Amino acid sequence: MQVNSERGLLLAATRCTGNVGQISAPGGLIRMLPVEHNDSINAKILAISEDKIEGFVREPFEEIARRSSVDVDVVMAQIAAMLRAGTIRRVRQTLLATNLADGALVAWKVPADKIDNAFDWMFQRDPFSGHVVLRSTDTVTAGSEYKLWTTVKVPHGFSLQRHAELLVKKVGAEHFQLMPAKGIFTLGVGHVRRKTIEPGSKASEPAKMIPVQIVDLDEREWKVLLALKREFTPEEIRPTPWAARANDAGVSLDEFYRVAEELNARKIIGRFSTFLEHVKPSAGGVRVTRFNALFHWAVPPGREIETGGEVGRHHILTHCYWREAGPEFKNVNIMAVAHGTDKELLLEHKAAIDRHLQTSGIPVSYTNVFWGGRSEIKPSEISPQVYREWLRNMETLHRDS
């Protein structure tokens, strides 16, 4: 097939070879599609696919195509190519897991000679620890001795406290601080579209808080949910992507759609998202971000919802939560995360938020920034069955040790 334009070349990707993300060029050669996030077409796709497809969508790739004004064949070919190359680290349907499992941000105080092993153990051997990050502060300040930070979720009916105590024994931590979310103001990645955001850019209205609520599921709902949330392989980036998942769940496609849409109505479904590898450089040496900043504010009790709304409206933030950090962190209760390639620019964003809080008449008794260093990210497991099996394995290993 002779292809004369870039758009036509991309469209050829899914027609000329069975391997989505490659092009069969004249002479039988295989030409790879561009896979960096800053490629012009990839950037258009990622500006939508990172965090703009909210809820459950029956044809997510068609929706990305519609909203990005990129042909759906191109969308599927490019996402598959970026996933194979590692530019995208995962494609999946996200869940509002705070409603399905008891979760917390956890700060760990670990001796310096044990911290690397603790990091590895939590990332590799605890499926209920999601983000695992080493953090530091620019000066010695409240909580700066807590250098290992993780997110942890355990299914309803199990204890976060006991889970953390088990991890203490496994990794040799001296202390930990559980910080469950009481409310969510911002949750979404969107690194590509945030690259051009100016300090102080914010929504016209304060962010609305999503309360953390416990939701119970029956066996059929769990089967659909677990099939729904599994990561996509490059080969699954195709039309009607949920058909195979319905088969995995043992239900018809219509039944799968019905259950998924019911779960969406119950505020259990998050977004359909492509997650960029934003910690490590790509195979071509290109970085999406370089700095990961966890902002802390302590505001008067009773003003957390107001403050979270004012902080969370700022466009640079990927996360904003109401969390109680306790006296070791000077009673911080609002936390937010921002990413970027320029540390000073991130501090300018933070200063703009600080000025906005002052203008809004919100007193801040303490604020700080914890910078992310070494980092690994994986979705936290939330299945009660998987948790029971994991506990049994841990008990077996303890008896055998």
Mind listing the pLDDT tens digit for each residue in 188-218? 655 455 566 899 999 999 999 988 887 888 9
- Mean pLDDT score, 13-33: 47
CA 118, CA 122: separation in Å to the nearest integer? 6
Domain membership flag for residue 382: no
Q: Are residues 186 and 49 in the same domain?
A: no
- Mark which of 25, 59, 85 sits at the end of a domain: 85
Q: Are residues 107 and 194 in the same domain?
A: yes
Same domain, yes or no, for 73 and 33? yes
User: Buried b / exposed e across 5-39, counting CB within 10 Å, b at 16+?
Assistant: eeeebbbbbbebbebbbbbbbeeeeeeebbbbbeb
Quick one: pLDDT band at residue 2, thresholds 50, 70, 90? Answer: very low
Given 27, 51, 85, the domain boundary residue is 85
Q: Does the structure show a pLDDT above 70 at 311?
A: yes
Write out the DSSP string of 227-291.
HHHSPPPGGG-SSSTHHHHHHHHTS-HHHHHHHHHHHHHTT-EEEEEEEE--SS--TTS--S-SE
Q: Which two tokens stand for residue 240?
A: 């009607």
Is there a single domain that holds both residue 31 and residue 125? no
Residue with tokens 């990707």, as numbered in its chain? 13
Whether the Cβ atoms of residue 195 and residue 346 lie closer than 8 Å to each other = no
Number of structural domains, the chain?
2
252 pLDDT exceeds 80? yes
pLDDT digits (tens, 9 = 90+) for 79-123: 999 999 888 989 999 887 667 889 999 999 999 999 999 999 999
Q: Does 366 lie in the same domain as 340?
A: yes
Taking the model in full, what pTM does it have? Answer: 0.77
Is 360 in a helix, a strand, or coil?
Answer: coil
CA–chain centroid gap for 237, Å, is 20
Region of poorest pLDDT, from 131-135, 266-270, 271-275, 397-401: 397-401
| 295 shares a domain with 179 | yes
Q: Are residues 67 and 159 in the same domain?
A: no
Which pLDDT value is given to residue 95? Answer: 85
Q: State the CB neighbour count (10 A cutoff) for residue 121.
A: 17
Domain presence at residue 233? no
Q: Is there a single domain that holds both residue 204 and residue 123?
A: yes
Same domain, 114 and 188: yes
| Range of the structural domain that residue 341 is part of | 98-208+280-376
Domain co-membership, 31 together with 103: no
Q: What is the CATH number of the domain that holds 117?
A: 3.30.70.3460
